[in-house]
Chain A
Amino acid sequence: SQQGEEDPQALSIQEGENATMNCSYKTSINNLQWYRQNSGRGLVHLILIRSNEREKHSGRLRVTLDTSKKSSSLLITASRAADTASYFCATDGKGGGADGLTFGKGTHLIIQP
């Protein structure tokens, strides 16, 4: 079953603008992660935020987590053409169970030069 759902499904912005994408999930989590996937490639881990954290930064990335709303957002500042990719959120969602992460369907981000 799908745990995380990203919104929007697709996003097109101009280079230099900020990109924001959201993720909603259904059950309690220990952590939430964001991954990037370039077309036809594997996923690359971007950032992990734990359930007791509200905000985390990594370079041009900022992730927020609101456990009361069961939602997270990923902000990419000063976007570049190389940021064009699909972005997925992933949750454990099973109280630390050992059966892997559950991924959403992703947001396809296009950065126009």
Chain B
Amino acid sequence: DGGITQSPKYLFRKEGQNVTLSCEQNLNHDAMYWYRQDPGQGLRLIYYSQIVNDFQKGDIAEGYSVSREKKESFPLTVTSAQKNPTAFYLCASNIGAGYVNEKLFFGSGTQLSVL
């Protein structure tokens, strides 16, 4: 069954702690994205990657970091520098290359809350 898997579904962060959100896809997609969604708001782009070992900052990258060591995986770390991390985080992917602005496939999201 092809798709994007995000884990965990719920995550709690203590003050000063870094936490990592997992995103794995088996769609053989080149491009992967991380979005943040706050209540009543649209999605805002945090980071994206079009190819392994390469990624770019989105609109709200401060306080976040990513890696893309494997095509299937694009983990997001929320660092202690992110002062307002409580949000719903969505990972997405698409074919990439000449189709980077075409249909996105989304995971089911991770709700991050601060203790």
Contact = CB atoms under 8 A, between A and B. Distances in A.
B41 A105 contact: yes
Contact of A45 (B45, B48, B103, B109): B103
Interface residues of B, number: 29
B56 A42 contact: no
A100 B102 CA distance: 9
Interface string B40-83: 11111100101000001011000000000000000000000000
Contacts of A92: 101
Interface in A73-113: 88, 90, 92, 96-106
Contacts of A40: 88, 109, 111
Contact of A101 (B40, B101, B107): B101
Given A104-B42, A105-B40, A31 B50 contact: no
A44 B106 contact: yes
A61 interface: no
Nearest to A93: B101
Contacts of A105: 40-42
Nearest to B50: A98
B42 A42 contact: no
A30 B101 CA distance: 9
Contacts of B106: 35, 42-44
Contact of B108 (A31, A41, A90, A103): A41
Contacts of B92: 42-43
Contacts of A30: 101
A4 B58 CA distance: 17
Interface of A: 1-2, 4, 30-31, 33, 35, 40-45, 48, 88, 90, 92, 96-106
List the 6 closest pairs (A to B, CB-CB), nearest first.
A42-B106, A92-B101, A103-B42, A103-B43, A105-B42, A43-B106
